[in-house]
């Protein structure tokens, strides 16, 4: 069969066919599993396609789901419906997170396996804005893969909302990790983080919200950058109407962003990277690990604007 390519994609097809031809019926994959593998393969072939979708007031969550499915992002809606997601693992102003054990299908495998995952549902008072924010983040997250970026496993429609699915990282954020691991390799963690940011910048992506809470550490000590909710990319295959630009979090923001003279930028990412490196070495967020009120925040902003920076006494 010369039409099947002699490469990684071809090897995946042969593994899939071998599974389909298993002597024992129970060993054969389901139609859903075959579909997921072929969808992922199709994404690899057509990932440079110029097709786009326009995000308008009339767009529906099903339209967005169809776009991502056609581009190789796995839809776990059916699997998620088997779970009773009544009690969130974590509720924040911007998102609700659920932690469950889900049957996961990797694009290079034909047999699913159970994995603990986080299901993230972006929140907004406006259903239109909620879908828009979730679509943007899912698009950015699904566009790039790197060892130091938290993998996106897929998406689902949950209670009419677009949700994103990623692996559960037990160690939590890098700040939590260094507090618990007294032998943590600070240099190695910072090096991995800088590689992730370099990868994004090289590919025309501005993260926009680099901070310790958005950097996880796996059991193997591998840094995983996450949260692309306010990221910026030069080329988009989803055409959005005007979208407000997020600028990250004040503790990590560069002076020009605090002055509102600049939106998120590569230079702003580098400033936030430096602040996050301080987090890693001191085990504290910039300007201390306690929550700061409005008055303290104003003082910090003024200090940065006149050329100051966070304290380095603990370095």
Residues (pLDDT < 50) of the chain are: 43-50, 294, 311-315
Compute CA 257 distance to the chain's CA centroid, rounded to the nearest angstrom: 23
Please work out, in degrees rounded to the nearest 5, the angle formed at the alpha carbon of residue 141 by the alpha carbons of 139 and 144: 105
- Would you state the pLDDT for residue 314? 44
Q: Within a 13 Å sphere around the CA of 247, how many CA atoms are in the beta-carbon half? A: 13
How far is residue 171 from each of residues 174, 216, 221, 223, measured CA to CA in Å? 8, 7, 9, 11
pLDDT of residue 280: 92
Please tell me whether the overall predicted TM-score, pTM, comes out greater than 0.85 for this model.
no
| pLDDT (0 to 100) of residue 154 | 94
Residue 29 confidence (pLDDT): 81
- What pLDDT is recorded for position 197? 92
Beta bridge partners of 116: 101
> Where are the extended beta strands (E) located within 215-306?
215-217, 223-225, 232-233, 238-240
User: What token pair was written down for 235?
Assistant: 């080329």
Spatial CA neighbour of 98 closest among 108, 109, 111, 88: 88
| Rounded to 5°, angle at Cα 101 from 103 and 82 | 70
Is 75 among the residues known to form the active site?
no
What is d(CA 210, CA 228) in angstroms, rounded to the nearest whole number? 10
Question: Which of 77, 216, 102, 57 is CA-nearest to residue 155?
Answer: 77
Provide the pLDDT for residue 32.
73
Q: What is the pLDDT of residue 298?
A: 59
What is the residue extent of each domain of the chain?
8-167, 174-305
Nearest to 230 by CA among 244, 216, 250: 244
With residue 197 as reference, give the H or E element that holds it.
Answer: helix 186-202
CA distance 228 to 120: 12
Report the chain's C-alpha Rg in angstroms.
21
Residue among 27, 48, 108, 209 flagged as catalytic: 209
**61, containing H or E segment:** helix 61-70
The whole-number pLDDT of residue 114 equals 86
Q: What is the CATH number of domain 174-305?
A: 1.10.510.10
Fold of 8-167: Phosphorylase Kinase; domain 1 (3.30.200)
SS3 label, residue 289: coil
In whole angstroms, give the CA distance from residue 260 to residue 40: 41
């Amino acid at each position: 069969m010369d039409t099947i390519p002699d490469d990684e994609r071809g090897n995946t097809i042969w593994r899939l066919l071998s599974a389909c031809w298993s002597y024992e019926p129970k060993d054969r994959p389901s139609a859903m599993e075959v579909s997921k593998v072929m969808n992922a393969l199709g994404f690899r072939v057509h990932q440079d396609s110029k097709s786009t979708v326009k995000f308008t007031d009339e767009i529906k969550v099903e339209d967005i789901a169809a776009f991502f499915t056609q581009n190789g992002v796995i839809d776990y809606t059916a699997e998620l419906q088997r779970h009773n997601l009544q009690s969130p693992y974590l509720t924040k102003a911007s998102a609700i997170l659920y932690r469950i054990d889900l049957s996961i299908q990797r694009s290079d495998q034909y047999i699913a396996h159970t994995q603990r995952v986080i299901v993230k549902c972006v929140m907004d008072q406006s259903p239109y804005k909620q879908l828009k924010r979730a679509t943007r983040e899912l698009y950015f997250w699904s566009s790039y893969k790197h060892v130091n970026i938290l993998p996106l496993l897929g998406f689902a429609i949950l209670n009419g909302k677009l949700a994103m699915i990623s692996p559960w990282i037990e160690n939590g954020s890098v700040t939590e990790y260094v507090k618990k691991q007294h032998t943590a390799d600070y240099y190695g963690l910072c090096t991995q983080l800088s590689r992730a940011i370099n990868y994004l910048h090289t590919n025309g992506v501005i993260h926009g919200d680099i901070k310790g809470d958005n950097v996880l550490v796996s059991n193997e000590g591998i840094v995983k950058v996450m949260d692309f909710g306010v990221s910026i990319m030069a080329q988009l295959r989803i055409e959005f109407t005007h979208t407000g630009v997020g600028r990250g979090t004040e503790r990590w923001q560069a002076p020009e962003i605090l002055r509102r003279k600049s939106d998120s930028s590569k230079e702003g990412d580098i400033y936030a990277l430096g602040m996050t490196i301080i987090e890693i070495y001191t085990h504290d967020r910039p300007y201390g690990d306690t929550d700061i009120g409005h008055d303290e925040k104003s003082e910090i902003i003024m200090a940065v604007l006149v050329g100051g920076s966070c304290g380095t006494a603990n370095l």
